[in-house]
A and B are shown apart, each in its own frame.
Chain A
Amino acid sequence: MIREQKDIIIHTICRILIPFMQVYGLYVLAHGHGSPGGGFQGGCIFAASFILMPIAYGLDVGKKRLAERRTIILCSLGVFIYGGIGLLCLLLGGNFLDYGALSAILPVGPVMARYYGIAVIETGVQITVMAVMVSIFINLVTGGSHEEEMQKTHD
């Protein structure tokens, strides 16, 4: 059961902190090439910002930001991006998931084509991990019955 916190300190701090957490999650994803990071790590940090919102503001504000249907569509979008890039490499003449074949459509050599292929699939992985973490959290906390919980949060 999530009860809305009516404390003004928590509301103010979370309002300041949530955009920084999201930017940090995207930073960890983008710098996966040159420093520790990547898709899974950035996805978990990004999901943490979405999980902080129902805890501090109540469940209906959280559900307005990331509704259930949109979360489920995002789960499958990440896997679709990953498989789609692999299939695109197959259609362009290479093996499955052989990113060197992407140099047929991008204006770079085969080495940098692998660089960009890695960047795109890490984005797909981050989207999936973020959506699945938020979805599992909302389902576990409400025990499956979302509508009854939303009526209870404002007691």
Chain B
Amino acid sequence: MMRRLLGVALAAAALIILLYGVEDLPPWGDPNQPASLHVSPRYIEKGLAETGVANMVTAVLADYRGYDTLFETAVIFTAGVAVLMLLRRRKP
């Protein structure tokens, strides 16, 4: 019971802090927000001309940011190995 009240109090405090911070964020769908300004127009405008791939998401994922995708594949491989190591135990 104590833990539940403490959980509600902390969650309410986190909600108030988050809603207070929401007012400084750019409005939804603004084309001039900082997330769409620096390197993203270059990926959109030159993606088809430099890679020949019409899908800009695949071009950025596999060509411009291919190093991240290599290590993400290594992450999912490590997860498969970790589940194997946790559950397959030989009885000695």
Contacts and interface: CB of A to CB of B under 8 A. Distances in A.
Interface in A68-117: 72, 75-76, 78-79, 82-83, 86, 96-97, 99, 111-112, 114-115, 117
Contact of B80 (A32, A82, A121, A132): A132
B81 to A, nearest CB: 8
A143 to B, nearest CB: 6
A132 B81 CA distance: 8
Contacts of B67: 96-97
A34 B83 contact: no
A111 B50 contact: yes
Interface in B36-60: 49-55, 57-59
26 contacts: A33-B53, A33-B54, A34-B54, A34-B55, A35-B55, A36-B57, A39-B62, A75-B80, A75-B81, A76-B77, A79-B77, A82-B73, A86-B66, A97-B66, A99-B63, A111-B52, A114-B50, A114-B53, A114-B63, A115-B53, A118-B53, A121-B69, A122-B62, A129-B76, A136-B80, A140-B87
A72 B81 CA distance: 9
Most chain A C-beta atoms within 10 Å of own C-beta, residue among B54, B76, B89: B76
B79 interface: yes
A154 B32 CA distance: 63
Interface of A: 32-39, 72, 75-76, 78-79, 82-83, 86, 96-97, 99, 111-112, 114-115, 117-118, 121-122, 124-125, 128-129, 131-132, 135-136, 139-140, 143-144
A121 B51 contact: no
Contacts of B55: 32-38
Contact of A136 (B51, B58, B62, B83): B83
